[in-house]
Structure 1
Amino acid sequence: MFRLSNKSKNLGLLVFLGLLIETGISPMPPLKLTSVLAHEVEVSGDVATTFHLEPNHNPRAGATAKVWFALTRKGGIIIPLEQCNCNLAVYSQGHKPGDKPLIEPALKAVSAERYKGIPGADIVFPKAGIYELELSGSAKTAANFKPFKLTYKVTVR
Structure 2
Amino acid sequence: MFRLSNKSKSLGLLVFVGLLVETVMPIAPQLNSTSVFAHEVEVSQDVAATFHLEPNHNPRAGETAKVWFALTRRGGQIIPLEQCNCKLAVYPKGHKEGDKPLMQPLLKAVSAERYKGIPGADIVFPKAGIYELELSGSAKSAANFKPFEMSYTVTVR
Q: Please, what TM-score do these two structures have when normalized by structure 1?
A: 0.79
1:95 and 2:109 matched = no
**CA distances 1:90-110 after superposition (whole Å, capped 9, x unpaired):** 000010000000010000000
Identity %: 81
Match in the other structure for 2:123 = 123
Residue 21 (structure 1) shift: 2.8
Q: Is the 8 A contact 1:51 1:69 kept in 2?
A: yes
Stretches of structure 2 that go unaligned for 5 or more consecutive residues are 1-15, 24-34
Q: Is the 8 A contact 2:41 2:49 kept in 1?
A: yes
Q: Which amino acid aligns with 2:134?
A: E
| Count of residue pairs the alignment pairs up | 131
Stretches of structure 1 that go unaligned for 5 or more consecutive residues are 1-16, 25-34
Residues 39-58 of structure 1 correspond to what in structure 2 (within 5 A)?
A: 39-58=39-58
Query: Hey, what's the Cα distance between the residues in 2 that align with 1:23 and 1:74?
Result: 12
1:21 and 2:27 matched = no
Q: Which amino acid aligns with 2:132?
A: E
Query: Hey, what's the Cα distance between the residues in 2 that align with 1:87 and 1:69?
Result: 11
Query: What secondary structure is seen at the aligned counterpart in 2 of 1:82?
Result: helix
Q: Is the 8 A contact 1:21 1:43 kept in 2?
A: no
Q: Which amino acid aligns with 1:151?
A: S
Query: Hey, what's the Cα distance between the residues in 2 that align with 1:139 and 1:23?
Result: 24
Displacement over 2 Å in runs of 4+: 17-24
RMSD: 1.7
Residue 18 (structure 1) shift: 6.7
The answer to which structure has the higher helix fraction is: 2
